[in-house]
Amino acid sequence: MKKLTETQSLIDSEGKMLNLAAALYICTKDEVYYLSSGSNPKYNQFMGAYRLQWEMIEYAKKHNIPRYNFYGITGDFSDNAEDYGVQQFKKGFNAHVEEFIGDFVKPVRPFFYKIYQLLNK
């Protein structure tokens, strides 16, 4: 009964539609790339981010897309890693880590890049 009361209270205050989470994906015939997402901390108890992943994994299966790519982590697997929470989230889907060479920045306009760096210190 408590859950029903809480749910009705939420509907009364927020409406029937809640914006729990959003994500950006790129889909090809060979892979679904999960690029970025965010969730509304106000509604974390509904685990919207997990539902988004589940739906996209189901989408990949339905369309015979063989790979689902959760995309980047730092590679620091310690408990105090900057992205520890992100790693745990992805690990919760039984993800497999593939290590690649990494990335780098190649400024095409070095002068403006220096200014950019100075402004963003």
Where are the extended beta strands (E) located within 3-100? 21-27, 31-39, 67-69
Residues of the chain whose pLDDT is less than 70?
A: none
Give the global pTM: 0.68
Give all domains of the chain, ordered by start, each with its CATH number. Answer: 2-119 (3.40.630.30)
| Contact by Cβ (8 Å): 82, 95 | no
What pLDDT, on a 0 to 100 scale, did the predictor assign at position 2? 84
